[in-house]
Every structure is written in structure tokens, then in C-alpha cells.
């Protein structure tokens, strides 16, 4: 079995699942979080970085995939990521979306009054293990991959059935005392389906990238609250940023198809 150790990243929480002879890095944080991970391994856990047998990137945003590049380069840590992760930032418009998302990361840090840290990273992630819905993590087969598109087209979360632990990545956020979907919800229908798919999981420990770790007694109630928030749409303060979400070639194709379907109906 393992113990969960949380690392306070630049703009997110990173989790280490620590086994007796190996460590699973559950999302890699920003590029600037790599020293935080190194320090946690050395000072808190007294483990060498070589014991991190796998780093997961749940999706391609800077606070989830940014550190994976450097961890793979500096420590030869294998990286697992959704198989279509590199489609999101492909081509010219994808490159533009990558720059926008990186700037949004800086904006989040600024609103939280955090000091500046370098979070720029390569838009294309080199990874070793492509992940599909229902897969087991290589070397950590007790963790199941669940595809949860909506925030991007390729998000995944991780579920550990034996301990009833769910790593929700950006699919579930804790804001104040309430639970919210991520920003942006690029694919609303898919987001609702993803949230609904999680409803029947037996979850007692919820790990959130934004909101920390919580012991849960009524997970379906959280899911129902999430679905209500998705139907409400964006809060007024985020409405101005809606136009910044549509440059990925995946989203451009998605909305073209939606328009065709609407005309045909």
C-alpha cells in the first residue's frame, strides 16, 4: 500500500503516492515546481528521485504537464499522458492557445499575489506511456485511468479502488466551501458526461489539484453540485475570458462539427 504526500506547487497541489520501494507522481505541476518535488523527495521522504517510477500528466496545461518535460530530461523519469495530449496545441492556432494558457497561468499567480516564477514550457510533451480510458498505470496497476474530456478533449483522472481514492486533476475544483468545474469548460456536453461518469465511484478520499485533499462522506452530492454549476455557466468575472479558449485546433474542429449538426437538424 501507499501513503499520499501533498506538495504545495506554484498554483496547484501535487501528490506523491509513496510505496515502500517506488513513488508515483500524480501530475507534475509547473516547470518551476520541479525543485519543490526534488526537495520533498530528499528532505521529507528521504528518497532518491530515482524512486519516482512514473510521472503522470493528466492534461497539457502548464500546471499539470509543465514539470513533466524537466523531470524526464533531468531525472529520466518515465511520463504517462493521454494518448491525444499533443493534438491540443498542434499547429499555429494550437501554439497560440499554448501561449494564452501559459499567460493565464501567470494571471492566476498574479491574482493570488504569488511572486513570479518561470512556467513557460514546450507545447509538445514527449511521453513514454500513452493512456486510454480504462487503462491501468504502468508499474502502478492498482490505479485506473478514467477519461474525462470537457476541460480539454483529453483530460484524465485516476482512481484507486482499494483505498477509494480519486485524483480529480482539474475536473473538480474546490473554491471556498463549494465545488466547481474548471475554467474553461471547452466542451460542455462532454464535461457533463465526464462528471456523470464519476458519480457511481466509491470515493472516500478526493485529491484535487486546486482545493487540496479531502475526506468525503457523500461523493454523489458533490457530483450533483458540479452538474448544477456546469448548467449555470461561467461566473460573471470569467465571462470576459471566454474568447480565449477557442484556438486549439481540436476545439475549432469540435465547434465546426457542432455548427454542421445544428444546420442539419
Tell me: the pLDDT tens digits for 209-229? 999 999 999 999 999 999 998
Q: How many domains does the chain have?
A: 1
pLDDT in tens, 66-92: 999 999 999 999 999 999 999 999 999
This prediction's pTM: 0.94
Domain extent, residue 155, equals 3-232
pLDDT at 239 over 70: no
* Closest alpha carbon to 85 in 153, 166, 170, 169: 153
Asked if the structure places residue 176 within a domain, the reply is yes
Q: Distance from CA of residue 162 to its chain's centroid? A: 22
pLDDT at 38 over 90: yes
Asked if the structure places residue 26 within a domain, the reply is yes
Q: What is the mean pLDDT of residues 167-193?
A: 92
Asked if the structure places residue 247 within a domain, the reply is no
Asked if the structure places residue 45 within a domain, the reply is yes
Asked if the structure places residue 188 within a domain, the reply is yes
Task: Residue 217: give its domain's CATH number.
Answer: 3.60.15.10
Looking at residue 74, what is its pLDDT? 96
Asked if the structure places residue 265 within a domain, the reply is no
Asked if the structure places residue 250 within a domain, the reply is no
Asked if the structure places residue 257 within a domain, the reply is no
pLDDT at 242 over 90: no
Q: What is the mean pLDDT of residues 55-61?
A: 97
Amino acid at each position: 500500500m501507499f501513503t499520499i504526500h501533498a506538495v504545495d506547487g506554484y498554483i496547484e497541489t501535487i501528490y506523491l503516492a509513496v510505496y515502500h520501494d517506488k513513488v508515483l507522481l500524480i501530475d507534475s505541476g509547473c516547470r518551476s515546481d520541479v525543485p519543490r518535488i526534488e526537495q520533498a523527495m530528499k528532505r521529507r521522504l528521504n528518497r532518491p528521485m530515482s524512486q519516482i517510477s512514473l510521472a503522470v500528466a493528466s492534461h497539457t496545461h502548464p500546471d499539470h504537464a509543465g514539470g513533466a518535460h524537466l523531470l524526464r530530461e533531468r531525472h529520466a523519469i518515465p511520463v504517462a499522458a493521454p494518448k491525444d495530449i499533443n493534438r491540443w496545441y498542434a499547429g499555429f492556432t494550437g501554439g497560440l492557445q499554448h501561449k494564452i494558457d501559459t499567460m493565464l497561468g501567470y494571471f492566476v499567480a498574479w491574482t493570488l499575489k504569488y511572486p513570479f516564477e518561470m512556467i513557460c514550457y514546450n507545447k509538445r510533451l514527449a511521453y513514454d506511456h500513452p493512456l486510454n480510458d480504462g487503462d491501468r498505470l504502468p508499474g502502478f496497476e492498482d490505479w485506473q485511468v478514467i477519461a474525462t474530456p470537457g476541460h480539454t478533449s483529453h483530460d484524465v483522472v485516476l482512481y484507486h479502488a482499494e483505498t477509494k481514492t480519486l485524483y480529480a486533476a482539474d475536473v473538480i475544483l474546490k473554491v471556498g466551501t463549494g465545488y466547481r468545474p474548471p475554467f474553461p469548460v471547452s466542451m460542455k456536453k462532454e464535461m457533463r458526461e465526464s462528471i456523470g461518469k464519476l458519480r457511481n465511484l466509491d470515493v472516500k478520499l478526493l485529491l484535487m489539484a486546486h482545493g487540496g485533499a479531502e475526506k468525503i462522506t457523500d461523493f454523489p452530492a458533490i457530483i450533483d453540485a458540479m452538474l448544477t454549476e456546469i448548467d449555470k455557466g461561467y461566473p460573471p468575472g470569467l465571462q470576459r475570458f471566454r474568447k480565449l479558449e477557442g484556438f486549439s485546433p481540436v476545439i475549432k474542429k469540435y465547434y465546426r462539427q457542432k455548427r454542421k449538426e445544428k444546420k442539419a437538424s
